[in-house]
Amino acid sequence: MAKYCPTFSCGHEAEVVLFGREKDRDRKLRWYRENGLCPECYRVKQTAEVALKSEGLPPLTGTDKQVQWAAKIRVDVISYVRNKVSSANNTEEQKDGVTQIFLELCQSRTEAKWWIDNRDEYNTMKLLWPEVIRIAKERQLT
């Protein structure tokens, strides 16, 4: 048993206790640096995923690996949009309405491939935002 304080891929440090051979511990530390999230970021990510599930987003289709990657992308994009919308200079009703429209559009994108192909927040916004604005105008939110 050994205690380490690695820097995780998210940039944070946290203490971990590792067991096993030195070679296995080194491999685990390398994984933390390259792919792992610190306990706090992991908790935030899990909370966001639970929140998304409670918003009724449908499961994604594709291979297991695609679905896992696309689910993270979808969480990140929705968080990005929420932050952008919340900082806009609009009423709370307009902000909530626009966020709801965006979530409705996300519900119709169930192919993991679509999320992976458009994984950059800017690309996703560029594709979906004109439709969000059109629907918001129809619902008289703007």
For the chain, state the CA radius of gyration: 19
Q: Which amino acid makes up residue 69?
A: W
- pLDDT for 23 equals 95
Percent of the chain at pLDDT > 90 equals 35
- pLDDT for 25 equals 94
Spatial neighbors of 2 by CB under 8 A, at least 6 apart, are: 17, 18, 25
Average pLDDT, the chain: 87
Helix and strand element counts for the chain (H, E): 6, 2
**Site of tokens 């820097």:** 7
Residue ranges per structural domain of the chain: 2-39, 57-138
Give the global pTM: 0.59
What confidence tens digit (pLDDT) does each residue in 7-64 have? 999 899 999 999 999 999 999 999 999 999 899 888 777 776 766 665 678 888 998 8
What confidence tens digit (pLDDT) does each residue in 50-101 have? 666 656 788 889 988 888 888 888 888 888 888 888 888 888 888 899 999 9
